[in-house]
């Protein structure tokens, strides 16, 4: 039976590619491993897999009686169903430590860097001393560019930049900027996409002081792309809030060129926005200059505001 390697719900490019890259590394170490995803690929991830010649991983949303490893998360809310009825063998991540626990010692490798791809690069190179296949390097490179918004996100570190340089050479990608823009256009494609699919493109549920809080993010090359759909997006996050007994649902419309986020907010308590960010909601939203990262600039101040 293969060890399943699984990223978070609503998979992003890092979750998909880290599962593949860790599965490849495990195979080199003699472990029968299989990458999985918990939901459909977003358009950016589909483009990345196609470019480097990988098939879409199988879907797995329940790990009952399975051996498994997690990448890009360690939160129960992001994990497959019945995480505690399977046998967790490793976590490779770059987020705050979540609430998953084990009864045995496991490989737990979490680093405060911009991407799981960077942690994997360090595991390949420094820990297990294995060569990274060119196509796998292409995946990891793409994930780091995506997660760090090509080094613009405050989550980006020197380790991410070093990994990109080395991985681009291995993968034979010479025009890094061009490849990033191609991915960014796919990531932010909105025309003709159903509204719920946009809300869920990069969406996570959190628990903050016992309250259910959802935060989605659309990373766009321009806010103009969604100008005509803001009301529709707002109405849909209002629906989502009601459906899931949530206290708040936020949707970050992040302009990666202007480097800031228009935050759409539906909440039982609008004062949390002011407490967290020092700005008042004006109608349905507010503008947060320089805010690009959910992990670093949204979750921590909101957790404080909810406390
Ligand atoms: Mg992720
Ligand atoms: Mg990531
Ligand atoms: Mg992201």
The pLDDT confidence band at residue 110, using thresholds 50, 70 and 90, is very high
Cα of 65 to ligand 3 centre, how many Å? 30
Q: CA neighbours within 13 Å on the CB side: how many for 303?
A: 11
pLDDT at 15 (0 to 100):
98
| Mean pLDDT calculated for residue range 38-67 | 97
Cα of 19 to ligand 2 centre, how many Å? 11
Ligand that comes closest to the CA of residue 143? 2
pLDDT for 200-210, tens place per residue?
Answer: 999 999 999 99
- Do residues 268 and 174 both lie within one domain? no
pLDDT at 73 (0 to 100):
98
Ligand that comes closest to the CA of residue 293? 3
Q: Which is more confidently placed, 1 or 285?
A: 285
- Do residues 145 and 226 both lie within one domain? no
Ligand that comes closest to the CA of residue 218? 3
In a domain, 238, yes or no: yes
Cα of 2 to ligand 2 centre, how many Å? 24
Cα of 116 to ligand 2 centre, how many Å? 5
pLDDT at 67 (0 to 100):
98
pLDDT for 127-173, tens place per residue?
Answer: 999 999 999 999 999 999 999 999 999 999 999 999 999 999 999 99
CATH number at residue 211: 3.10.310.20
pLDDT at 68 (0 to 100):
98
Cα of 286 to ligand 3 centre, how many Å? 20
Cα of 203 to ligand 1 centre, how many Å? 10
In a domain, 12, yes or no: yes
| Mean pLDDT calculated for residue range 86-97 | 97
pLDDT at 241 (0 to 100):
98
In a domain, 26, yes or no: yes
pLDDT for 240-266, tens place per residue?
Answer: 999 999 999 999 999 999 999 999 999
pLDDT at 154 (0 to 100):
93
Cα of 113 to ligand 3 centre, how many Å? 13
| Mean pLDDT calculated for residue range 57-84 | 98
pLDDT at 139 (0 to 100):
98
- Do residues 109 and 252 both lie within one domain? no
The pLDDT confidence band at residue 196, using thresholds 50, 70 and 90, is very high
CATH number at residue 35: 3.90.1640.10
Q: The domain containing residue 288 runs over which residues?
A: 195-306
Alpha-carbon distance of 281 to 285, in angstroms, equals 5
Q: Pick from 185, 204, 224: which residue ends a domain? A: 185
Cα of 50 to ligand 1 centre, how many Å? 19
Ligand that comes closest to the CA of residue 146? 3
- Do residues 18 and 164 both lie within one domain? yes
- Do residues 18 and 37 both lie within one domain? yes
**Mean pLDDT in the chain?**
97
Cα of 147 to ligand 2 centre, how many Å? 6
- Do residues 166 and 199 both lie within one domain? no
- Do residues 180 and 220 both lie within one domain? no
- Do residues 133 and 235 both lie within one domain? no
Cα of 16 to ligand 2 centre, how many Å? 10
| Mean pLDDT calculated for residue range 268-286 | 96
Cα of 104 to ligand 3 centre, how many Å? 30
- Do residues 24 and 114 both lie within one domain? yes
Cα of 11 to ligand 1 centre, how many Å? 7
Q: Pick from 167, 185, 203: which residue ends a domain? A: 185
pLDDT at 174 (0 to 100):
97
Cα of 191 to ligand 2 centre, how many Å? 25
Cα of 179 to ligand 1 centre, how many Å? 19
The pLDDT confidence band at residue 291, using thresholds 50, 70 and 90, is very high
| Mean pLDDT calculated for residue range 28-56 | 97
- Percent of all residues in the chain with a pLDDT value above 70, rounded to a whole number: 100
Ligand that comes closest to the CA of residue 78? 1
- Do residues 109 and 212 both lie within one domain? no
- Percent of all residues in the chain with a pLDDT value above 90, rounded to a whole number: 98
DSSP for the chain, written as a single string: -PEEEE--SS--HHHHHHHHHHHHHHHHTT--EEEEESSPPPHHHHHHHHHTT-PPPEE--B-TT-EEEEES---GGGSPBTGGGSEEEEEEE-SS--S---SS--EEEE-SSS-HHHHHHHIIIIIS--PPPHHHHHHHHHHHHHHTTTTTSTT--HHHHHHHHHHHHHHT---HHHHHHHHHHHHT--TT--HHHHHTTTEEEEEETTEEEEEEEEEES-GGGGGGGHHHHHHHHHHHHHHTT-SEEEEEEEETTTTEEEEEEEES-THHHHHHHS---BTTEEEEET---IIIIIHHHHHHHH-
Ligand that comes closest to the CA of residue 149? 3
pTM of the model: 0.92
Q: Give the total number of structural domains in the chain.
A: 2
- Do residues 145 and 212 both lie within one domain? no
């Amino acid at each position: 039976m293969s060890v399943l390697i699984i990223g978070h719900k609503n998979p992003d490019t890092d979750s998909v590619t880290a599962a593949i890259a860790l599965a490849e590394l495990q195979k080199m170490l003699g472990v029968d491993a299989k990458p999985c995803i918990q939901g459909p690929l977003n358009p950016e991830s589909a483009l990345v897999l196609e470019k480097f010649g990988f098939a879409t991983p199988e879907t797995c949303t329940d790990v009952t009686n399975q051996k498994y490893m997690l990448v890009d998360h360690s939160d129960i809310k992001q994990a497959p169903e019945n995480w505690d009825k399977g046998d967790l063998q490793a976590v490779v991540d770059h987020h705050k430590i979540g609430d998953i626990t084990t009864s045995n010692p496991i490989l737990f490798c979490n680093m405060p860097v911009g991407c799981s791809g960077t942690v994997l690069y360090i595991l390949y190179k420094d820990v297990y001393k294995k060569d990274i296949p060119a196509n796998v390097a292409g995946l990891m490179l793409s994930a780091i560019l995506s997660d760090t918004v090509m080094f613009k996100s405050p989550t980006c570190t020197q380790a991410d930049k070093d990994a990109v340089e080395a991985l681009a050479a291995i993968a034979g990608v010479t025009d890094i900027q061009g490849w990033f823009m191609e991915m960014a256009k796919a990531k932010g494609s909105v025309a003709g996409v159903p509204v719920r699919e946009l809300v869920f493109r990069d969406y996570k549920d959190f628990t903050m002081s016992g309250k259910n809080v959802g935060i989605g993010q659309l990373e766009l090359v321009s806010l103009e792309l969604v100008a005509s759909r803001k009301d529709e997006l707002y109405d849909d996050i209002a629906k989502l809030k009601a459906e899931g007994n949530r206290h708040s649902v936020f949707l970050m419309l992040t302009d990666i060129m202007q480097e800031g986020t228009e935050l759409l907010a539906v909440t039982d308590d609008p004062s949390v926005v002011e407490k967290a960010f020092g700005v008042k909601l004006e109608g349905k939203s507010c503008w947060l200059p320089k805010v690009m990262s959910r992990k670093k600039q949204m979750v921590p101040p909101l957790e404080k505001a909810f406390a």
